[in-house]
Amino acid sequence: MKLFALFAMLALAACSHEAEWKGDPQLVYKLSSKMPEAEVQKILGEPSRIFEMPGPGPVTKSWTYNGTETLHLILQNGKLVDAKIGNKTVVETSVNDL
């Protein structure tokens, strides 16, 4: 039982580690609405954290890039629908466009 508890603590510690993103935050301005996920990652690189929101509807992922500034992206069904740098919205997709 103690071994399981130790393994669980190590697993949680590993999951909570967030790498600092070394990319240029200004690259967020090269993104566009409904850009494919692979193209977004090609421009920005690997995110610091990916959170997938389960549900019966479209697959929604939240990507966070932590570095000198924080970038936060929302992707639905493999397409970019929202991008923020700090609190400033850079890309926003209307509900009617989805």
CB 75 within 8 A of CB 61: yes
Can you give the pLDDT at residue 11? 42
Expressed as residue numbers, the domain containing 64 is: 20-97
**Beta-strand (E) ranges in the chain?**
49-53, 60-66, 70-76, 79-85, 88-92
Q: Is residue 31 predicted with pLDDT exceeding 90?
A: yes
CB 25 within 8 A of CB 64: no
Domain annotation covers residue 70:
yes
Domain annotation covers residue 1:
no
Domain annotation covers residue 74:
yes
Q: How many domains does the chain have?
A: 1
List pLDDT tens digits, range 81-94.
999 988 899 999 98
Can you give the pLDDT at residue 1? 45
Give the chain's end-to-end CA distance (angstroms, integer).
49
Domain annotation covers residue 58:
yes
* DSSP secondary structure, 17-33, as one string: --PPP-S-GGGGGG--T
Can you give the pLDDT at residue 27? 87
CATH of residue 51's domain is 3.30.1450.10
